[in-house]
Amino acid sequence: MAQALMTRQADVVVVGSGPGGATVARQLARAGEKVVLLEMGRDYRNEFYYGTHLGALIYDDNRGLLFTEEGLNIIRPIMTGGATNLFTGSATRPPAWLKERYKVDIDDYVEETIKELDIRPLPDELLGEASKRIMEAAISLGYKWEPLMKFITPARAARFDCGAKCMLGCRCGAKWTANEYVDDAVAAGCELITEAKVDSLIIEDKQAVGVRGKIRKRTPFEIRADVVVMAAGGIGTPLIMQNSGFFDAGNGLAVDTTTMVYGVSKYKGNASEPPMTVAYTDDENGYMLSVLIDPWLSYPLIMFAKGIRYPFTWLNYTRTMAIMIKVKDEVSGGITVDGKISKPTTAQDRYRLNHASIVSREILIKAGCDPDSIFVGPLRGTHPCATVRIGEMLDTNLHAEVKNLYVCDASSFPEALDRPPVLTIIALAKRLSDHLLKTVFRRKASRRVPAAPAEG
- Residues of the shown chain interacting with ligand FAD in the complex, contacts defined by CB under 6 A: 15-21, 38-41, 75, 78-79, 82-84, 86-90, 167, 197-198, 231-234, 236, 240, 276, 382-383, 409-410, 420-422, 425
Q: 41 or 250, CB closer to ligand FAD?
A: 41
> 64 near 294, Cβ under 8 Å?
no
What is the 8-class DSSP label of residue 310?
G
Angle of the 19-30 helix axis to the 422-438 helix axis, nearest 10: 30
- For residue 122, give the nearest of 268, 278, 290 by alpha carbon: 278
Q: Which residues pair with 227 in a beta bridge?
A: 12
Q: Quick one: 228 or 369, whose CB is closer to ligand FAD?
A: 228
**Helices then strands (H, E): number in the chain?**
10, 21
Residue whose CB is less far from ligand FAD, 79 or 264: 79
Q: How far is the CB of 234 from ligand FAD (least distance, A)?
A: 6
Supply the minimum distance, in Å, between the C-beta of residue 15 and ligand FAD.
5
Parallel, antiparallel or unpaired: strands 207-215 and 219-230: antiparallel
Question: 128 or 236, CB closer to ligand FAD?
Answer: 236
Exposed, middle or buried by CB within 10 Å (0-12, 13-18, 19+), for 316? middle
* 87 or 374: CB nearest ligand FAD: 87
Burial class of residue 121 in the structure, from the number of CB atoms within 10 Å of its CB (0-12 exposed, 13-18 middle, 19+ buried):
middle
Q: How far is the CB of 122 from ligand FAD (least distance, A)?
A: 13
C-beta atoms surrounding 222 within 10 Å: 15
Work out how close the CB of 451 gets to ligand FAD at its nearest, in angstroms, rounded to a whole number. 19
For the bound state, the minimum distance from the C-beta of residue 137 to ligand FAD, rounded and expressed in Å, comes to: 23
CB of 170 to ligand FAD, least distance (A): 12
Angular region, 404: left φ>0, alpha ψ -120 to 50, beta rest:
left
Nearer to ligand FAD (CB atom), residue 23 or residue 265: 23
Residue 159 near residue 172, CB atoms below 8 Å: yes
The answer to whether the beta carbons of residues 314 and 373 sit under 8 Å apart is no
User: In the complex, what is the shortest distance from the CB of residue 310 to ligand FAD, in angstroms, rounded to a whole number?
Assistant: 20
Closer residue to ligand FAD in complex, CB, 137/170: 170
Residue of minimal Cβ distance to ligand FAD = 18
Q: For residue 424, which of 135, 185, 102 has the smallest C-alpha distance?
A: 102
Rounded CA-CA distance 262/60 in Å is: 25
Nearer residue to ligand FAD within complex by CB, 265 or 382 = 382
Shortest spacing between CB 421 and ligand FAD, in angstroms? 4
The contacts of residue 40 (CB under 8 Å, 6+ apart) are: 16, 78, 195, 196, 197, 198, 232, 236
Bridging pattern class, strands 191-193 and 320-327: unpaired
Q: For ligand FAD, which is the closer residue by CB, 19 or 128?
A: 19
Q: What is the spatial distance between Cα 133 and Cα 115, in angstroms, rounded to a whole number?
A: 30
Which of 119, 145, 174 lies closest to 427, judged by CA? 119
Compute the least distance from the CB of residue 217 to ligand FAD, in Å. 12
The Cα–Cα gap between 98 and 107 comes to 10
**Residue 339 vs 354, nearer CB to ligand FAD:** 339
Toward ligand FAD, which CB reaches closer, 261 or 324?
324
Q: How far is the CB of 38 from ligand FAD (least distance, A)?
A: 5
Q: Give the length of the chain.
A: 456
Minimum Å gap between C-beta 444 and ligand FAD is 28
Cβ 121 vs Cβ 277: under 8 Å? yes
Nearer to ligand FAD, 215 or 454 (CB): 215
DSSP labels, 261-273: EEEE-SS--STTS
Compute the least distance from the CB of residue 347 to ligand FAD, in Å. 26
